[in-house]
Amino acid sequence: MGEPTGFLKWDRQTPKRRRIPVRVQDWKEVYEPFAIDELTRQAGRCMDCGIPFCNNGCPLGNLIPDWNDLVYRGNWQDAVERLHATNNFPEFTGRLCPAPCESACVLGINSDAVTIKQVEVEIIDRAWREGWVTPQVPSQKTGKRVVVIGSGPAGLAAAQQLTRVGHDVLVLERADRIGGLLRYGIPEFKMEKSNIERRVKQMTVEGTIFRTNATVGENVDIDVLLASHDAVVLACGATNWRDLNVQGRELNGIHQAMEYLPPANKVQQGDIAETNISAAGKHVVIIGGGDTGADCLGTAIRQGAASITQLEILPQPPVARAENNPWPQWSFVFRTSSAHEEGGERLYAVSTEKFVGDESGNVCGMIISDVKSENGTFVSIDGTQRELQADLVLLALGFVGPEKSSWLENLGVKFDERGNVARNDEYMSSVRGVFVAGDMGRGQSLIVWAIAEGRAAASGVDKYLMGETDLPAPVVSSAKSLN
Ligand SMILES: Cc1cc2nc3c(=O)[nH]c(=O)nc-3n(C[C@H](O)[C@H](O)[C@H](O)COP(=O)(O)OP(=O)(O)OC[C@H]3O[C@@H](n4cnc5c(N)ncnc54)[C@H](O)[C@@H]3O)c2cc1C
Ligand code: SF4
C-alpha cells in the first residue's frame, strides 16, 4: 500500500465536467483533464485490503489494489501491464463502466469509495500517449481458423485473445464500421470513437482480419463459415428491442432509441450529412430511465430539442443505499449522468397509456398516468391521467435478447428460458465448435461483462482447438445455461 493513511487524509475527488453551455455545443467527451497530483492522491486512498472486494465486484477480476499502488508510486508502465492482464480494453470500461468495483470498495462501508474508474482510465490514456500500448504479434501460428460474428466488445475481446495465441481470426460485422454498441449506441460525448479506431489498428497489426458490411444470414452463409473454420464465436449482441404496444404506437415520430442513436453517431463520424430523425426544435419524450434513455437525452440536447421529458415506470431511487441494498451489492441510488445535468425533466413512477396523433398521422402528445406497484405489476392511479406534448417519442425500454434470425434457428443452437443462446461452462453452445459470448448469451448487460465473456469464450475456444489453454478465463457468474 502506497500511503497507509491516505484514506484518512484525502477525500474522494472526481474529474469536473466541462461547463454545460460549452459542452452541449460540441459532441466531445464531457470531462476535463484530471490533475496528476490529485490522481496520485486518489490512488493513495486505496487501503490495499486483505480481501479486496473491488476485485470481486469487477466482472473482469481487475487487479485494482495492485495498480492503485503502482500509480501512487509513479510506476505507470507496470500499472498498465497489470491493467491489461485482466482487461483488453480499459479505455472502454474506464469511460463507460458504471463501476461495480466502486460499489464494492471496502471504503464505501462508511466513507466514499476509491475513484477506481478514474485511475483506470488515466493509466490507459497515459499508456497510449507514451506509446506503451503496442501490437502483440503471436510468435507462432497454430493453423486453426476461427470466425467471430459481431464486433462489439465481446467479439473484439474474443478475437484479440485468440489472435494473440496464434489462431487465424476473422471478425465479421454487419454494420459499416467496427465496434457494435460502442460505435452506434454510445454517443461520442460518452466515448470518442478514436478509442475504437486505435484498438482496431492494433488488432489488425496483430493479425485479426476485419470484414464490415458482412451480415451472416444475408450476404454470408453460416454453412460456408462452419465448413471453412475450426470454431465459430457468436457475439451478435441482444439487439431485439422491447416495444410499447399501446394505442397510437403506429404514429409517425415514435422511434426506437436504436433507430435514433446510430444516425446521430454517423453524422459525428462524417459518414452522413444529417440524421433522418432529429430532435431539433421538437418536444421530445424519452420512455425509459436507463443509460440508453440518458444517451438519447444528451443527443437530443445537442440537436437542439425544444423540451425533453424522460419517463421511468419505477419510483425515484433513494439518494443513499436502502437497508435492503447493503454494501458490497451494486448500489441502487439516484444518479445524475452528464446528460441529466445538461437538461430535461425526469418523471418517475409514470406509465404511458396512449399516444395522441394529429390529422397527418404524426404524434403530437401522449397520455400518461402515475402508477403504483400491486402484486408484482404496475397499475395506473385513477385521476392522475394527463397529457404531455410530444412530437418526437424515443423508446428506450431495453432489449429482450438476440434477434431470432433464421440462420441462427437453422444453425440449431438451443436457447435458454430467457431467449438467449444457451452455453455450457466453457461458453460452447449446443452445437459443437460454436461458442457464444456477450449479450447474445447473457442478455442485455454491460461492456465490462461483454469483455469478460469474450475473454472467457476465447479460453473455451482455445482449449477446444488445442486440448489445453493458457488463456485466462475470468469467473463469469451465470454463464452456464446448458446442461
Ligand atoms: C444506447 C446504449 C448505451 C449503452 N451504454 C452503456 C454504458 O455506458 N456502459 C456499459 O457498460 N454498457 C452500456 N450499454 C450496454 C453495452 O453496450 C452492451 O452490453 C455491450 O455492447 C454488449 O456487447 P456485445 O459485444 O455482446 O454486443 P454488441 O455491442 O451489441 O455487438 C454485437 C455486434 O454484432 C453485430 N451483428 C449482429 N448480428 C450480426 C450478423 N448476423 N452478422 C454480422 N454481425 C452481426 C451487430 O451489428 C453488432 O455490431 C449500452 C447499450 C445501449 C444500447
Ligand atoms: S476495496 Fe477499495 S480500498 Fe480495498 S483494495 Fe479495493 S479499491 Fe482499495
Residues 6+ apart with CB under 8 A from 188: 27, 28, 29, 265, 268
> Considering only CA atoms, which residue is closest to atom 4 of ligand 2?
49
Q: DSSP 3-state assignment of 391?
A: coil
What are the grid coordinates assigned to 249, written together?
Answer: 404506437
Report the alpha-carbon distance of residue 181 to residue 173 in Å, rounded. 12
- Calculate how far, in angstroms, residue 259's C-alpha sits from the geometric centre of ligand 2: 40
Q: 167 pairs with which residues across the strands?
A: none
- Calculate how far, in angstroms, residue 57's C-alpha sits from the geometric centre of ligand 1: 22
Report the alpha-carbon distance of residue 311 to residue 347 in Å, rounded. 5
**CB of 53 shorter than 6 A to ligand 2:** yes
pLDDT digits (tens, 9 = 90+) for 323-370: 999 999 999 999 999 999 999 999 999 999 999 999 999 999 999 999
Q: So what's the pLDDT on residue 478?
A: 62
**CB of 286 shorter than 6 A to ligand 1:** no
CATH number of 6-130: 1.10.1060.10
CATH architecture designation of domain 145-239+400-466: 3-Layer(bba) Sandwich (3.50)
Domain with CATH 1.10.1060.10 in the chain: 6-130
DSSP string computed for 38-103: HHHHHHHT----SS-HHHHHSTT---HHHHHHHHHTT-HHHHHHHHHTT-S-HHHHHHH---HHHH
CATH architecture designation of domain 254-395: 3-Layer(bba) Sandwich (3.50)
**CB of 54 shorter than 6 A to ligand 2:** yes
> Among all ligands shown, which has an atom nearest to the Cα of 49?
2
> Considering only CA atoms, which residue is closest to atom 2 of ligand 2?
105
**CB of 235 shorter than 6 A to ligand 1:** yes
Question: Which ligand 1 atom is nearest residue 444's CA?
Answer: 19
> Considering only CA atoms, which residue is closest to atom 5 of ligand 2?
48
What are the φ and ψ backbone dihedral angles of 342, each rounded to 5 degrees?
-80, -20
Q: So what's the pLDDT on residue 475?
A: 73
- Calculate how far, in angstroms, residue 439's C-alpha sits from the geometric centre of ligand 1: 7
How many C-alpha atoms does 256 have within 13 Å on its Cβ side?
14
Q: Alpha carbon of 56 to those of 106, 190, 290, 416: distances in Å? A: 11, 26, 25, 26
Q: So what's the pLDDT on residue 158?
A: 98
- Calculate how far, in angstroms, residue 230's C-alpha sits from the geometric centre of ligand 1: 25
Q: Alpha carbon of 52 to those of 96, 101, 326: distances in Å? A: 22, 10, 17
**CB of 180 shorter than 6 A to ligand 1:** yes
CA angle at residue 28 from 121 to 296, to 5 degrees? 100
What are the grid coordinates assigned to 213, written together?
Answer: 458490411
> Among all ligands shown, which has an atom nearest to the Cα of 93?
1
pTM check: above 0.95:
yes
**CB of 408 shorter than 6 A to ligand 1:** no
> Considering only CA atoms, which residue is closest to atom 20 of ligand 1?
447
Q: So what's the pLDDT on residue 482?
A: 82
Mean pLDDT by 10 residues, the chain (483 residues): 88 97 97 97 96 95 96 97 98 97 96 97 98 98 98 98 98 98 98 98 98 98 98 97 97 98 97 97 97 97 98 96 93 95 98 98 98 93 97 97 95 96 97 98 97 98 98 78 77
Residues 6+ apart with CB under 8 A from 348: 289, 312, 314, 315, 316
Q: So what's the pLDDT on residue 226?
A: 98
Q: So what's the pLDDT on residue 477?
A: 65
- Calculate how far, in angstroms, residue 46's C-alpha sits from the geometric centre of ligand 2: 5
Domain with CATH 3.50.50.60 in the chain: 145-239+400-466, 254-395
Report the alpha-carbon distance of residue 354 to residue 270 in Å, rounded. 37
pLDDT digits (tens, 9 = 90+) for 361-410: 999 999 999 999 999 899 999 999 999 999 999 999 999 999 999 999 99
Q: So what's the pLDDT on residue 224?
A: 98
pLDDT digits (tens, 9 = 90+) for 45-68: 999 999 999 999 999 999 999 999
